[in-house]
Copies of this chain bind each other. A is one copy, B any other.
Amino acid sequence: MPENKADSRGAPGEGPASKQAVYNAAVRLFARKGFAATGMRELSREAGVNLATVNYFYGSKKGLLKVIIEDYFQDILAVLTENLAGDDAPDVKLRRNIAAVARYFSTHTDKMIIALTELPHDDPDITEFRAERFRRISGLLQSSLGDTAAHIPVSVIGPAMVGLAASRFLFMPVLQKALPPGSRALAGVDYPEMIAELFVNGINGLLAAGPGGKNGGGND
């Protein structure tokens, strides 16, 4: 009769194979069907483990979701930390950063979808550390983009960046169904570079138009 293991993290590369299988199956299913619509039995079946194994490793279904979202934020924070460092000009860093975020989304689409589509999930546990992470991210942007962030709030830049980078992957199922197969629109486009260029051009345009305009500046 083992004690509760709910506190152990379950990120990939840690713990026994079963634990990772549960994690991987959860990421896949939560992204495709949503957290609430995914049952524990389906999840354990997909992972090839016994039903009780899920709660044995993650304490509860909600605990599993929490681990995934925490994992996502840790990834994103690492991406931002890496790409916002250095002495380059703010717009260079911004371009590099948003491209990196978009690339991360393209390789970890499921995790991103979970973190994004479960945003309304206003469970106290999750809401709390999500806000905390957001504050750290904001601070990082604030200090790295001093010039830009002085005129456009990072609370605008941040979500805008994420929304822009994520939308294509969020819409992918719809796109694939709506467009004729083999459409040129879905291939041959370096999306990360494209939206990075778009975003930086857009921000620069805003700054040029009026740093003291009706949408006046303000660090949060």
Contacts and interface: CB of A to CB of B under 8 A. Distances in A.
Contact of A186 (B134, B155, B193): B155
A185 B220 contact: yes
A188 B175 CA distance: 35
B174 A156 contact: no
Interface stretch (A9-17, A76-84, A116-124): A116-124
Taking the full assembly, how many copies of this chain does it contain? 2
Interface stretch (A18-26, A29-37, A42-50, A52-60): A29-37
Given A168-B159, A201-B201, A218 B185 contact: yes
Interface string A176-220: 011110011110111101110111111111100100001110101
Given A113-B120, A202-B198, A205-B198, A190 B215 contact: yes
Given A117-B117, A120-B31, A155 B177 contact: no
A191 to B, nearest CB: 7
A164 interface: yes
Interface string A55-98: 00000000000000000000000000000000000000000000
A34 B32 contact: no
Given A160-B198, A168-B160, A134 B174 contact: yes
